[in-house]
Structure 1
Amino acid sequence: MSFLFNAYALARPALFALDAETAHELTLRKLQQAYDCTLTRGLIAGDPPRVPATIMGLALRNPVGLAAGLDKNGAHIDALGSLGFGFVEVGTVTPRPQPGNPKPRMFRLPRSQALINRLGFNNQGLAAFVANVQRSQWRAGGGILGLNIGKNADTPIEQAASDYLLGLEGVYPHADYVTVNISSPNTANLRSLQGGDELDGLLAQLRDKRRELEDRHDRRVPLAVKIAPDLQPGQVDHIAQALARWDVDGVIATNTTLSRQAVQGQPHAQEQGGLSGPPVHELSLAVIARLRQQLGAGFSIIGVGGIVSGRQAREKIEAGADAVQLYTGLIYRGPALVQECVRALG
């Protein structure tokens, strides 16, 4: 186990004394500095056992990935990948840079090991994102990289598809898979794209664009859709049918929740935004199980939401997921959680 895994437990009280977003940025900066220095790089490298898995036709070293949102600009891919992940997903990126919502916009709920965020797709835009991705060596070393795309906040929802098509075209040559984020609660009306004619219209256009890009680049990049936990069974069924109908390769279940039932009475519980961490785990399991029932055995499902232990990672797989992703658990548990989850799935 690397030095960093033990050091995080010592550093966490100081980090938690800071504003949540400030601590997040500081942690990424220090991790990057340690990775960039040849003397310290070996101290941060995680070396979990190999647990081969496959998602969307992609061979993984292990089925534990980093969820999108932690590295929105793709600026720390190699450093984060070195913690032992089998795959890394970065973004969400929008075509144009945007600052996101006003600060403060990220809040800890330590009693539940949870977070509420209303960041709002804050990122430096597609051009900067692609430049960062091109500089990384993660894919060259055999790592699997997912690039997560979204729409700008000021793009009318009726024109959302244009932003997703721009995003898909921009990231396509640099991705092992592309995720379409239509489930963030922090961009107005975005979740409406998960239902009815809106979903069919978006996926139809993405299918056609992907076919065009496949011909242009002579490679087929798998496409995944990330959905919300706050869906009724009938809504999940409709999404599953649409995914199959429009040749989507995978689904990521789930994003953050708007429910506050599990954290009522806690400080910050009524802050606006998406709640992540253990309160999402059971909601995610229900969506995963329903998706697996509807989609059958061959369709790739990535389970995310509330994993803070190896046991919960195993529960995601038992519910029907092929692989899992971590985010909030890393903030509370640190890099040791990666190895714990890999071993639990071995």
Structure 2
Amino acid sequence: MEAYAALNQKKPRLKRKKIIRQLKKDYQLWLLALPVIIYFIVFHYLPMYGIQIAFKDFIAMKGITGSPWVGFQHFERFITSYQFKRLILNTLGISFYQLAVGFPAPIILALMLNQTKNLKFKKFVQTVTYAPHFISVVVMAGMIILFLSPTSGVINHLIGGLGFDKVNFMANPGYFKTIYVFSGIWQNAGWGAIIYLAALSAISPSLYEAARIDGANKWHLIRYIDIPSIMPTAVILLIMNVGRIMNVGFQKTFLLQNDLNLASSEIISTYIYKVGLLDAQYSYSAAIGLFNTIINILLLVSVNRISKKVTETSLW
């Protein structure tokens, strides 16, 4: 028994020594990573202290610790509010629409570019599709509003030229989700394709040569070589996208939002901004934000577990 106890006491010491040796060995890498570690601690972990205001009736004069505790009162208020159903449906509607249409777009673009033999044409397409990613959200929203204007917009000029009535797209709630998603595809599909092109570049050319000898055409190459090769990358990115499915982009939504399309453009992030910053309901907005984050975490863990069982690919 004494020998067993002594062995158990030695284990933590051996583990500490092993960690210290590893740190000394790789200290350059740790120094390189130190700014990023400090950034996450300062801007992501320390602010977690303020999450407790979601369970308090926050009063600025009393501070976080001095404000009275109210428990789940703000969560109940949000879930029972008339806004809850609309906010959830709009947020999930845009997210799933974006996932269903926007997620495959960079994959399809990367597969087509990978099969293109004309290098000049390939570089031209890459440049054209990458460029919109560098346009700021504010400029992008302005361009969308200008292009879709019922009086001076290019789209409505084309519609009028074809003999149809002009459409005020930004005033119709039914068009908002489509405008949001397809403008996002135009802006980000080329940039997202870079990851898949990098995965495709790792495929051995001998696989393509062997397939061509066996009589495979381009469709066969894509189906039996390209798609299986990028599948692990696609699965990881899908898990990450599902993990932030409740986080629809605030800036773009808010900039495209107006009183006429509010029925489909009001999402959780814009609502948090309005009740939290404009109406100064800090505790209520913190509770909504925490609710949103918990849903994302549950989705991330669930999808990751399902992916691990089905495809043996996961984040952890």
TM over 0.5: no
Q: Relative contact order: is structure 1 or structure 2 higher (C-alpha 8 Å, sep ≥ 6)?
A: 2
TM-score, normalised by the number of residues in structure 1: 0.23
Greater Rg by CA: 2
Which of the pair is proportionally richer in strand? 1
Which of the pair is proportionally richer in helix? 2
TM-score, normalised by the number of residues in structure 2: 0.25
